[in-house]
Amino acid sequence: MNTARLGNSDLELTPIGIGAWAMGGPGYRFAWGNQDDNDSIEAIHKALDAGINWIDTAAVYGLGHSEEVVAKALDGMSDRPYVFTKCERVWNEQGEISKSLKSDSIRREIEASLTRLKLDVIDLYQIHWAEPEEDLEEGWSTLVELKKEGKVRHIGVCNFNVEQLKRAQAIAPITSLQPPYSILRRGIEDEILPYALEQGIGVIGYSPMASGLLSGKMTHERAAALPENDWRSRSEEFQEPKLTKNLAVANKLAEIGARHGRTAGEAAIAWTLRLPAVTGAIVGIRTPTQVDGIIGAMAFRLSADELEELERVL
């Protein structure tokens, strides 16, 4: 299996990793609706059996539940995958989410994540958002301390712009950046990806299938029927006038993928992996069946002509 080194770390990652956001289940604003934990666990097992070697989650996904699901899936494994999680989003007893980069908050968060994940050390610990921005230096300095203390092996950030990356880099090297990246969301290409490549920061892009829009399974009818507790039901990308344009791109991806016996989702993921600055893609799964529709992206790549076809659609 081909792997790539993540930034300045010793982590050798497969081209795609398991995204556990949706596995958190309902109960907070950015949930994906009701989920079956057994399906999630089976999906993780199937993806690992297929060769994927890393999982990305976050404390806030399901208000801790996603981390618990990951722990159940990995229970008893002697050769576990790399496990990545995040800090900065916190919540109270009422489930209300707030933002903190204060050192004492992050220290409470790391202990809670270690407990939920049933781990002694986290392979990659990430700041979820640079919010509140005025506390960025305090938050990043705390992650540096946690690494020195052996609670985490490597440290990274998510959703940072170049200015924020530079502020963190002034304190200590960043192993990785996790930004949103898909053929429908290309904002990182002009400044962020070149900076990351120049600085040796690994990039693991999330939502390469645009939260299901490019999976080949989304339709106008399915989008209209998304339940209220699925955040996508409130997203402009899943509503007109954007929905029809987005599904046209998905149709082109499906057409290209079909030439190779691949799905639209696999073609969408392959598109995000075409640039040398991108180390890997985080692919959300919730059921074992979904693994079948994405695993081919581990090796599938688009040709220059196919990339040009997609540019014309865009």
Boundaries of every domain in the chain: 14-313
Whether the full predicted model's pTM is greater than 0.95, yes or no, is yes
pLDDT in tens, 123-143: 999 999 999 999 999 999 999
Report the amino acid identity of residue 170. Answer: A
Average pLDDT on 90-105 reads 97
Q: Percentages helix, strand, coil for the chain, rounded to the nearest 5?
A: 40, 15, 40
Average pLDDT on 202-230 reads 97
90 is written with which tokens? Answer: 């916190």
Q: Which CATH class is domain 14-313?
A: alpha beta
Output the pLDDT for position 47. 98
pLDDT in tens, 30-79: 999 999 999 999 999 999 999 999 999 999 999 999 999 999 999 999 89
For 114-140, letters b (16+ CB in 10 Å) and e give bebbebeebbbbbbbbbbeeebbebbb
Output the pLDDT for position 125. 99
Q: Does the active-site annotation cover 82?
A: no
Strand partners, 282: 17, 206
Q: Which of 61, 82, 195, 206 is catalytic?
A: 61
Say yes or no to pLDDT of 101 above 70.
yes
Average pLDDT on 189-200 reads 98
Output the pLDDT for position 314. 87
pLDDT in tens, 138-179: 999 999 999 999 999 999 999 999 999 999 999 999 999 999
Say yes or no to pLDDT of 1 above 80.
no
